[in-house]
Amino acid sequence: MKIKYNNKNNNNNFNFRIFITIFLFIIKIVESTELDCHDIFISHFNNNNNNKFLQVTVINPQGVVSFSRDAISYIAKGNYITNVKLFPTVFSNSEQCVHSQLQPFSYDKKKISFGDRNGIIITPDGSFTYKPIWSSVGELKFNYSCDKNIYYGWSKSHFISFSFITDHELGSPCTNP
């Protein structure tokens, strides 16, 4: 008995397999060209890290939110990123009356986070250390998780997030509209 092959079906199967192979190849190329948050994180560890800022948000176990944003610098000799200024911090429970309404995060009630450099230490292996002088629990330290440019973790029941920005420090002068 002789088996007949249908060349048309074989050609269609072959074309379909080639199409799928090319399609999967294109998807792999697109996936590999996108930088993940770890690649972006590592890109901050170079001498071009001038004029960058770090934005830090902490939520303590009582639900009080602190927010700070100030200049950072890459220290090549130690291969880490640190604060270069005092990092003023505002708090959700520090309210002020503005236009007859209580507003949280009063800048007039800000607290200075650090007396000198190394209050924040970020290392290429993903370690984040935060030692604000206003903290009642001392040093907060974790290895980050990330999503795009948002890095976060838990330490001593505190949720901490940070992101690298090119904006301005907290409390910069502005004009009213």
Domain of residue 54, residue span? 40-165
* Amino acid code (one letter) for 18: I
Question: Is residue 130 domain-resident?
Answer: yes
Q: What percent of the chain lies above the pLDDT cut of 90?
A: 44
d(CA 44, CA 166): 12
pLDDT on residue 11? 55
How many folded domains does the chain comprise? 1
Question: Is residue 177 domain-resident?
Answer: no
**pLDDT at 158 > cutoff 80:** yes
Compute the average pLDDT of residues 1-18. 57
Question: Is residue 98 domain-resident?
Answer: yes
Angle in degrees, CA 164, 168, 170, rounded to 5: 95
Question: Is residue 21 domain-resident?
Answer: no
116 CB burial (10 A radius; 0-12, 13-18, 19+): exposed
158 or 22, greater pLDDT: 158
Question: Is residue 29 domain-resident?
Answer: no
pLDDT on residue 29? 47
Question: Is residue 11 domain-resident?
Answer: no
Q: Give the CA distances from residue 17 to residues 7, 10, 11, 27, 29, in Å, rounded to whole numbers and listed in that order.
A: 15, 11, 10, 15, 18
**pLDDT at 77 > cutoff 70:** yes
pLDDT on residue 31? 46
105 or 24, greater pLDDT: 105
pLDDT on residue 32? 43
